[in-house]
Amino acid sequence: MGAEVIFYPTAIGWVRGIEPVEGDWKLAWESVQVGHAIANSVVVCAVNRAGTEGDTTFWGGSFVCDQFGKVLLRGGEKEGVFVVDCDLGLGKAVEAGWGFMRNRKSKTYAAIAK
């Protein structure tokens, strides 16, 4: 619908007693956010909670990536406020090259999107 930036607030981290047998959960979380940016030709601000509560130690690691998946800013493991310049025009160039949006066939999934 024309969005140029997507904010993904999350509260994800390591839970005591649960082993990540599949692999690196933090890397997977980051990869998903970068994929959203590329597939939708938008800037993604992946915001993640920091600190510990109960059995969960939140990763922090908030980051901003551009429409091609390049990380523009990466927060640490502590709380913080961050500002980064983003080229919103890059989305048009990425979409022109990849064509994810123009090649979507929204009529094929219109019934489930109601």
- How far apart CA 75 and CA 79 sit, in angstroms, is 8
H or E segment at 46?
strand 43-48
Tell me what pLDDT residue 57 has: 95
Q: What is the pTM of this model?
A: 0.84
Q: How many CB atoms lie within 10 A of CB 2?
A: 4
Q: Give 47's contacts (C-beta < 8 A, 6+ positions apart).
A: 7, 8, 9, 10, 62
Segment-wise mean pLDDT, segments of 10 residues, the chain, 114 residues? 92 93 93 94 96 95 96 92 94 86 79 78
Give the domains, in start order, of the chain with CATH numbers: 5-113 (3.60.110.10)
State the pLDDT at residue 37. 95
- 57 vs 64, 80, 85, 100, CA distance in Å? 21, 17, 30, 36
